[in-house]
Amino acid sequence: MYSLPNAKINIGLRIVGRRPDGYHDLQTVFFPIPLADSLEIEEARRLRKPYEFILSGIALPDDGKDNLVVRVFLALQEEFDLPPTSIFLSKHIPAGAGLGGGSSDAAAMMQLLNDYYHLDLTTVDMEQRLAAFGADCPFFVRNKPMYAEGIGNVFTPVNINLKDKYIVLVKPDIHVSTAEAYAAVTPCQLPNSLYDQLLSTPVQLWRNVITNDFEPYVFRTYPKVAAIKQTLYDMGAIYASMSGSGSAVYGIFGRPIDNAGKVFHDCFTFAASLHFS
């Protein structure tokens, strides 16, 4: 049984407070995009160990050790006494890009195990278990546009329809430290919530009002990331932004873009129709 765990982008990102536990309160919209990994599982009673994990595609910094899909499997194996299982993960979503690839894989793993081994977990059951693996993991169970608050773990459905739009996603060979990015941001409270701004502003005007609070630090530290955003606007993007704390940058267009790979020849580039809504 296999699944195609997809990435997400952040539409807007505000840091609105620092919590006593060291985390930050934020406001953002998680929006699913069609860039996806491939994940497959099958029962393997021939194994003399609990599981085998075979990783291919884009290399991960730690060679896949302590991967979230393995952690999810081990947690459910302990809870439900699952048989030995073969796990095959092919990575196409760049890591450390603000795209939620690892979280999406974790959610897909739980859904696959639930279906394959008939665990009878409800959507809420899976969301509750996934929260232990990362604040944004539960988002990928329903996989619909969501307004996120708290530490990115409190979700409200949001009606943002980009079905007639196209995305170009660009990931340079730059790693942005999430901890350093958060440390460089000063939380601020604005009169209107991001949720209200997005619902009251047509996408053609997002450029003027919808911001990502990580961009000033990242753009100062890595000018190439800032240049990618400007190039997307020069190509005709309606809206462009860094996703999460970076370093991936996306542009939303009103038409297909065929030459993105040539323009950003030294970067990972993905272009597609935004068929999610």
State the Cα–Cα distance between residues 68 and 230, nearest whole angstrom: 34
62 and 25 together in one domain: yes
Contact 97, 171 (CB under 8 A): yes
pLDDT at 198: 86
Same domain, 143 and 189: no
Segment holding 27, helix H or strand E? strand 24-36
Q: With the CA atoms of 229, 230, 232 and 238 taken in that order, what torsion angle do they form, in degrees rounded to the nearest 10?
A: 100
- Rounded Cα distance, 78 and 70, in Å: 12
Q: Based on the domain organization, do 209 and 88 belong to the same domain?
A: no
The domain tally of the chain equals 2
Spans in the chain with pLDDT lower than 70: 22, 61-65, 191, 276-277
Residue 35 belongs to what domain range?
A: 2-157
The reply to whether 208 and 132 lie within a common domain is no
Q: Supply the pLDDT for residue 235.
A: 97
- Helix ranges (H only) for the chain are 68-80, 101-116, 123-130, 139-142, 178-183, 194-200, 206-209, 215-221, 223-234, 260-263
- Residues 121 and 77 both lie in one domain: yes
Residues 115 and 215 in one domain: no
Q: Are residues 100 and 67 in the same domain?
A: yes
Same domain, 29 and 107: yes
pLDDT for position 113: 98
Locus of tokens 């100062």? 220
Q: pLDDT at position 60, please?
A: 75
- Clarify whether residues 126 and 211 are in a common domain: no
User: What is the Cα–Cα distance from 11 to 147, expressed in whole angstroms?
Assistant: 9
Residue 276: predicted pLDDT? 58
Same domain, 235 and 199: yes
Q: Are 239 and 9 in contact, with CB atoms under 8 Å apart?
A: no
Look at residue 23 in the predicted model and tell me its pLDDT: 74
Res 62: pLDDT:
62
Q: Report pLDDT for 25.
A: 85
Active site residues: 8, 136
